[in-house]
Structure 1
Amino acid sequence: MNRRYTLSLVVFVIAISCTLLLTVERVRQDARTSFSQSIAGTDLIIGARTSPIQLMLYSVFRIGDASNNIRWESYQSIARHPAIAWTVPISLGDSHRGFPVLGTSAAYFEHLRYGQQQKLRLRAGSFFQDGADHVFGAVIGAEIANQLNYQINDEITLSHGMDAQQALEHADKAFRVIGILERTGTPVDRTVHVNLQAIEALHLDWQAGAPIPQFSIAAEHVRKFDLEPQQITAALIGLKKRSAVFRVQRSVNNFGEEALLAVIPGVALDELWQMLSQVEQLLLGIAALVGLISFCSLIAVISASLNERRRELAILRAVGASPVHIATLLLVESAMLSLLGIAFGVLLVDLLSLLGSAHLQNHFGISLRLSLIRSSEIGSLALLLGAGLLAGMIPAWRAYRYTLNDGLSNRL
């Protein structure tokens, strides 16, 4: 307690190193889990020719933008392939208060799976149907409903583009919330879902990404127009037999009408993790370096304090304490400091997880699993504690070598 201020700094440094190490590991694990659970049961994703990772990111995780679109005729031609069981078209590009808007068909709610092959379920309301009669109905994710406090039958307006600050609003065509989905822990929670005809209706009086000057089509008149989509962003495909996945993928990649790409979700995710593996190793290396510095500071502080405590240790020797007993006292002190630092580090990680989970969920689609200590972290924490004990062995060995004479003598 006489050295509480100095030792508090040591505990703080150990806590920071523990926090950094566990945070990197938790985000890495939960990112992989969140991404892998976001799409299940989908055999292929097709889109305009680009990199497989980019296609996966914008079509499933709503990260980034599409390089190009797919013509509706091309999508219909691919959907007629005899090996394909079902298809789900996807149209992206609009937003609502920073949340992405996804135009799709009713088949989206029937065939999309997440987690362990779980279907999308409604918390309230109903799904929309295809066709112009359901053009202004919106089904929103759980995160949007919670953050914006939306209820069934509330009116919302959509914006053109994803930039909430610069997007032009489709203020003349309001949508009504007809369904709120149960939480899934996937990008679905942060998505406004409308049917494909709604996307066409919004842009009847738009051209080249901007409204046509002095021309507007009222919402009640849009059903008089042909609302069949002209193009879509991507499509999800389910096959009758998984064994046909490479044959269908080759057929899409060699499609003659336009340049398309078909990716297998699991393969694209593996490529993503391989690309990020060096970053993961770098972050873990930085965390390990911070841990090394923290335990070097532990050695330095305890070793420096030995000169002040030599008489104290000598008195302990004089009353019968053995050198082993004194060395053990210093090892126990080092272990206590390490345990305190690790405990505060774990608490700090949980606090950061609690405060930052919403941000990661909203902006990156990463759902952090809140837990005090995970079973996968026990090894890392034991390693940190072992490092603390190892750090305490150096000053303990020095104290062990002190003799009673040296401790009581005056030193110049």
Structure 2
Amino acid sequence: MSGLFSLAWASLLNRKGSVLLTILAVALSVALFLGVEKARNGAREGFENTISGTHLIVGAPTGSVNLLLYSVFRMGNATAEVSWAAYRRIAERPDVAWAVPLSLGDSHRGYRVVGTSTEYFERYKYAGGQSLEIAEGEIFDDLFDAVIGAEVARQLNYTIGTPLILAHGLGTADFGAGHDNRPFRVSGILKPTGTPVDRSVHVSLEAITAIHVGWESGARNPLADSIPEEMIRSFDLTPRTVTAILVGLERPGTILTTRREINTNRQEPLMAIIPGESLRELWGVTAIAERALLAVSAFVIAVGLVSILTSILTSLNERRREMSILRATGARPRHIFSLLVLEAGLVGFIGAALGILTIFAVFAAVAPVLQARFGVALGSAGPGMLELQVLGAVTAAALVIGAVPAFAAMRRSLADGLSIRL
């Protein structure tokens, strides 16, 4: 067997030009398939790790996926707000252990601003129950303090005490709608979490109310600039509305009852969703696209395997003398058959292995960026069961495909003997 392997290896080296192209085709197809699969699983893992320990999310009536996206993942916008009175009623329910309000809608240089309470830093959990931790500084204490995520600090090169100005609305620029009359300062920087928290600027709910003094009409009133900061601080800065509420229950077993009672509340239309359930709904929406991508990737692998068949078939005519010489030196038809099948298997194995190494090299380079910017984890550093299955499947398929030209070569070697008909 070792002799046959050596002969197959020498034969491949003798045709290294076409063989390398075939290996490259297989490697790229395997890399594409694994890239799609790992990105899909990584996206799901990243989304599922973003929030844990929150039993319900409450907002204005809208789609459950939309409520989940804008309240947790900072994607999209709320269609309406929840009154402060509704928040208080939910927080005071006997079956509610805690309720954390969120106020969204402003931004800072393209990063979302989250107005909330200090309880947010205690209650918000991610990745199976991990808590938010301060890397530098402290949670906001003054009205115009801000706690920023790790990505905000890194990208904008902010440190403790750095001044920042919030913008009214979303976007990378203020477009004349900035709250420059009420500047903030960085009081704390959070440790990296790999979630949207890293790309958020957190301020108090009272601060959100303070910077919108003079914006009651929806546009900035220049007269508001003349109001001294001391007077602003003396105002009742209790917010009138919030965007969403994160809710933790005393007993998780009451989650369905509590959700139904909130959703059927007659005092104000509200929607309560279960984060995990809404995530499954989101995966249901994207399932068709995921299956289509996997199907395309599988077809690409099939094309790569066909290239092995094409490469060997096109070389058969040139190798008739080689086959005849092997027969003359004692090789049997089954040896000719095994030789070509082994060549195909080697090309498939090397191509698949190279594809796996390629995708791990690419992901090693982009994983930190994706983890920090989008919260997408791309899996472990080493090969897992999926990679081993792909390697085995591609190698086995190459061996099977190699049987076609191998059978043709075996029949030709029997007919040709030492006489080569060209």
TM-score (structure 2 length as normaliser): 0.91
Match of 1:278 among 281, 288, 292: 288
For 1:210, the equivalent position in structure 2 comes to 219
Q: Which moved more, 1:13-22 or 1:392-401?
A: 392-401
For 1:160, the equivalent position in structure 2 comes to 168
Match of 2:338 among 313, 324, 328: 328
After superposition, where does 1:193-342 map in structure 2 within 5 Å? 193-213=202-222, 215-216=224-225, 217=227, 219=229, 221-342=231-352
SS of equivalent residue, structure 2 residue 309: helix
SS of equivalent residue, structure 1 residue 85: strand
- C-alpha deviation, 1:40, in angstroms: 1.0
- 1:57 is the counterpart of 2:69: yes
Which amino acid counterpart does residue 57 of structure 2 have in structure 1?
A: I
Cα shift readout 1:315-355 (whole Å, capped 9, x = no counterpart): 12211222222222222222222122212212321233234
Matches of 2:173 and 2:323, distance apart in 1? 67
For 1:373, the equivalent position in structure 2 comes to 383
Flag structure 1 segments of 5+ consecutive residues without an equivalent: none
Q: Is the 8 A contact 1:98 1:164 kept in 2?
A: yes
Which amino acid counterpart does residue 199 of structure 2 have in structure 1?
A: R
Q: Is the 8 A contact 1:144 1:190 kept in 2?
A: yes
Relative distance call for 1:407 and 1:21 in structure 2 (3 A) is: farther
After superposition, where does 1:40-51 map in structure 2 within 5 Å? 40-51=52-63
For 2:359, the equivalent position in structure 1 comes to 349
For 1:393, the equivalent position in structure 2 comes to 403
Relative distance call for 1:208 and 1:278 in structure 2 (3 A) is: farther
Match of 1:115 among 127, 136, 140: 127
Q: Is the 8 A contact 2:58 2:246 kept in 1?
A: yes
- Judging by fraction of residues, say which structure has more strand: 1
For 2:7, the equivalent position in structure 1 comes to none
Q: Is the 8 A contact 1:38 1:186 kept in 2?
A: yes
For 1:103, the equivalent position in structure 2 comes to 115
Matches of 1:284 and 1:326, distance apart in 2? 37
- C-alpha deviation, 1:214, in angstroms: 5.5
Which amino acid counterpart does residue 157 of structure 2 have in structure 1?
A: N
Q: Is the 8 A contact 1:41 1:238 kept in 2?
A: yes
Q: Is the 8 A contact 1:314 1:407 kept in 2?
A: yes
Matches of 2:251 and 2:289, distance apart in 1? 37
Q: Which moved more, 1:324-333 or 1:177-186?
A: 324-333
- C-alpha deviation, 1:378, in angstroms: 2.0
Matches of 1:237 and 1:49, distance apart in 2? 16
Matches of 1:277 and 1:360, distance apart in 2? 22
Q: Which moved more, 1:302-311 or 1:274-283?
A: 274-283
For 2:80, the equivalent position in structure 1 comes to 68
Identity across the alignment (%): 43
Q: Is the 8 A contact 1:186 1:367 kept in 2?
A: no
SS of equivalent residue, structure 1 residue 235: strand
For 1:8, the equivalent position in structure 2 comes to 20
Relative distance call for 1:16 and 1:408 in structure 2 (3 A) is: same
Q: Is the 8 A contact 1:173 1:218 kept in 2?
A: no
Cα RMSD for the two superposed structures? 2.0
For 2:10, the equivalent position in structure 1 comes to none
For 2:145, the equivalent position in structure 1 comes to 137
Relative distance call for 1:220 and 1:339 in structure 2 (3 A) is: farther
- C-alpha deviation, 1:409, in angstroms: 3.1
For 1:39, the equivalent position in structure 2 comes to 51
Matches of 1:139 and 1:375, distance apart in 2? 41
Matches of 1:148 and 1:211, distance apart in 2? 27
For 1:183, the equivalent position in structure 2 comes to 192
Matches of 2:361 and 2:413, distance apart in 1? 47
- C-alpha deviation, 1:240, in angstroms: 0.6
- C-alpha deviation, 1:359, in angstroms: 5.4
Cα shift readout 1:241-261 (whole Å, capped 9, x = no counterpart): 112111211111112232210
- C-alpha deviation, 1:207, in angstroms: 4.2
Q: Is the 8 A contact 1:318 1:404 kept in 2?
A: no
Q: Is the 8 A contact 1:172 1:218 kept in 2?
A: no
Matches of 1:254 and 1:301, distance apart in 2? 67
Q: Is the 8 A contact 1:135 1:197 kept in 2?
A: yes
- 1:403 is the counterpart of 2:403: no
SS of equivalent residue, structure 1 residue 171: coil
Q: Is the 8 A contact 2:320 2:413 kept in 1?
A: no
Matches of 2:112 and 2:294, distance apart in 1? 33
Q: Is the 8 A contact 1:89 1:236 kept in 2?
A: yes
Matches of 2:155 and 2:114, distance apart in 1? 19
Relative distance call for 1:208 and 1:322 in structure 2 (3 A) is: farther
Matches of 1:57 and 1:107, distance apart in 2? 21
Which amino acid counterpart does residue 231 of structure 1 have in structure 2?
A: T
- C-alpha deviation, 1:90, in angstroms: 0.6
Q: Is the 8 A contact 2:60 2:270 kept in 1?
A: yes
Matches of 2:120 and 2:232, distance apart in 1? 24
Aligned residues: 408
Q: Is the 8 A contact 2:152 2:199 kept in 1?
A: yes
TM-score (structure 1 length as normaliser): 0.93
- C-alpha deviation, 1:358, in angstroms: 5.2
Q: Is the 8 A contact 2:195 2:372 kept in 1?
A: no
SS of equivalent residue, structure 1 residue 380: helix
